[in-house]
Chains A and B, each alone.
Chain A
Amino acid sequence: MSSAPRKTAGAGVLRAALAVAHKELGESFRDRQTLLYTFVLPLCMYPAMFWIMVQGVLVVQGQKQARDVTIGVVAAAETAEAAREQLAVNEEGRGRIEVIALPPDTPQETQVIAGLIEAEEADALLFLPAERNDADPAALFFDSTSSQSETARGRVVSALEQWTAELRQEAADARDIDPEALEPILVQTRKVNPSKDDGALVLSLLLPMLLVVMCVLGAFFPAVDLTAGEKERQTAETTLLLPIPRLGLHLGKIFAVCATSMIAATLNLLALGLSAGHLLGQLAGLGDGAPKVELPLGALISIAPLAALFAFFVSAALTGVASLAATFKEGQALLGPVQMLFMLPAMATNLPGMELTATTAWIPVVNVSLAFRGLLVGSASAGPLLICALSLTASALLAIWFSVRLLSSEEVSLSSETIPMARLFRILRSR
């Protein structure tokens, strides 16, 4: 066979393939889900979400920089005074660094220093030797589990870098040499909290996010299965004929989704809590300084009521949205962006400086994650926890109302096609 007919045949196949691809693409782009995932999410939703996250980071960082911190300086009177002049610089938009001189005989003992930080005498302690001494370098003590102490550490380290650079420059000028020729002045940073607290800190970065993610993932498939799946299986009519009040029927579905969500979250938290210590130790090959991770049973029990409220909120919201879909596949597609709305704020709570306050406690999702984190490191206080409970209760009730409203709608419960979001508000408003 000559090569010309072969080429012609090859071109024919390619032409056919292109024609098929053209038709399939055209058809795909008429599919709402494909459009959503191909264009709408990447072009609109994700950039908008990340913009909001970045703005949140900037706000948090700004707040962190605007905080006043107190540094206890342990040094001879002259050195302490020099430190006050160098550290206590007032810059616009930044909080004050207040320097207090502590008795020069304050012992460099972890327990004593931890006691001073806990008593809020100072947020961090700086020990400065009278002269440069490699055997006894400057040391900065802080509590890594305290956001305030951690902020103080960051700001003092930054200020000390500038000061030590100046000292190095002065010493070099005095000897008329290049400052690079001199050894840098060392400032050691030391944590006063026990490694067990560090373990809690590690868990506080993992478990709160996992709580949110697993609640959402645990609710995801049951929410679709009990709503869109029911329509697809043609059992919706059977269910509507059950001799029970409709409210009971719809609440029953939400309870079922919520139960799965809570089981998934509980099992995952327990599994991770139990295995974290072992895995972390193995992965890092760490020695005595390795964080000691123990199962935080107290925190897990304490967070349970808030987690249950959150699970109700997630389950009701996902069930409501999934009920708009006519098939399982469309239900999954609808819930994709919705689950991101839950997961991204939870991820944002891992940003440094984020903690449960009277303000953040009002923000659903963010609040449960921060509350759990606070309970894990022992920094949560009653007021914000109460606000968190109120906010989650309100969110759960609102989501249940939303879900029941949709499930009660004839247009939604028996529709053979997915309800577009544009009709959502009309359905919610209708009597």
Chain B
Amino acid sequence: MTDLTSAIAIRAEGLAKTFHDPQRGVVEAVKGVDLDCRKGEIFGLLGPNGAGKTTTLRMLSTILAPTSGRALIDGIDVAEDPLEVRRRLGFLSGSTGLYPRLTGRETLRYFGRLHGLEGDRLEAAIARAFDAFDLHSFGDGRCEALSTGQKQRVSIARAVLHDPPVLILDEPTTGLDIMASSDMIQFIDSRREAGTCVLFSTHILSEAERLCDRIGIVYDGRMLAGGSLDELRAMTGKEWLEEIFRELVQRADAGEGAA
């Protein structure tokens, strides 16, 4: 039991977020999400647009403060020590979020330095990233001039430069072409062996089926169900993830509690 607890890299307990919208008034974007994600595990958050996936990931990565509930990253409370959480985190989204006027190398140097890498250690880490993600041919060009796939590779390199124990990916394949998308899936898969905990959101069912050790179905700000694909099958009596998803959503709409 102790081992299991210590192996948990991401834990959310009753995580909720409320926004004030001038048009709609008070909006409950996330209504109490619970989840555990272990080291070396890939956990997928599956849900339609507006389900609360991005808000949940943003709370876990300290971009947004939870309205209520608690979240721990590698044992650190996101509300109590957000800075330490950010040090242990790699975050990636489909939009890459690269600074367009910096080169790939400058981007890595900037992030590496802020993560406490300096001198030879920093240069060695950058060199490793250049090799690992094959940035040599374009890594010294400004990010604004790179193709989508190249940007994504620089972005991945940036997210893992400091070798974080937790990776949070927000719809990482959105907007990518087939090759770039395939590279991203391979990258996520490779992190399992490195012992990294990967939490990623998607609305692409095939990605979730292929990659995830466990899947959480998010709908209308709630986690309807969570578990391995087999557990979800047992829970719903359905075979395919698409059917499982539909079944859980229908139950939720009908007011039935999910597992």
Contacts and interface: CB of A to CB of B under 8 A. Distances in A.
Contact of A237 (B19, B63, B83): B63
Interface string B1-23: 00000000000000000011010
Contacts of A235: 97-100
Interface stretch (A33-41, A241-249, A270-278, A347-355): A241-249
Contacts of B142: none
Interface string B80-99: 00010011010101010111
Contacts of A414: 63-64
A320 to B, nearest CB: 20
B172 to A, nearest CB: 13
Nearest to A426: B20
Contacts of B95: 234, 237
A245 B62 CA distance: 12
B86 A243 contact: yes
Contacts of B116: 243
A131 interface: no
Contacts of A244: 83, 114
Interface string B47-89: 0000000000010011111000000000000000001001101
B99 A238 contact: yes
For B20, B63, B86, B100, the residue with the greatest tally of chain A CB atoms inside 10 Å of its CB is B63
For this complex, into which size category does the number of interface residues on chain A fall? Answer: 10 to 19
A317 to B, nearest CB: 25
A240 interface: yes
Interface in A404-431: 410-411, 414, 420, 423
A245 B83 contact: yes
A233 interface: yes
B115 interface: yes
B114 A240 contact: no
Contacts, number: 46
Nearest to B159: A241
B93 A241 contact: no
Interface in A137-170: none
Nearest to B100: A233
B64 A242 contact: no
Contacts of B99: 233, 235, 238
Nearest to A413: B63
Given A243-B114, A410-B65, A237 B86 contact: no
A86 to B, nearest CB: 70
B97 A243 contact: no
B83 A243 contact: yes
Nearest to A238: B97
Given A235-B98, A410-B65, A414-B63, A241 B89 contact: yes
A237 B93 CA distance: 9
B222 to A, nearest CB: 21
Contacts of A420: 22
B52 to A, nearest CB: 15
Nearest to B87: A243
Interface string B86-126: 11010101010111100000000001001110000000000
A18 B98 CA distance: 45
Given A238-B97, A244-B114, A410 B86 contact: no
B61 A241 contact: yes
A54 B83 CA distance: 52
Nearest to A249: B114
A101 B20 CA distance: 77
Contacts of B100: 233, 235
A239 to B, nearest CB: 8
B88 to A, nearest CB: 9
Nearest to A242: B114
B53 to A, nearest CB: 14
Interface in B167-184: none
10 contacts: A234-B95, A235-B99, A237-B95, A238-B99, A240-B62, A241-B89, A243-B86, A410-B64, A420-B22, A423-B22
Given A241-B62, A243-B116, A420-B22, 15 more contacts: A235-B97, A235-B100, A237-B97, A238-B91, A238-B99, A241-B61, A241-B86, A243-B83, A243-B86, A243-B87, A243-B114, A244-B114, A410-B65, A411-B19, A414-B63
The 7 nearest A-B residue pairs measured at CB: A238-B97, A243-B86, A234-B95, A243-B87, A240-B63, A241-B91, A235-B97
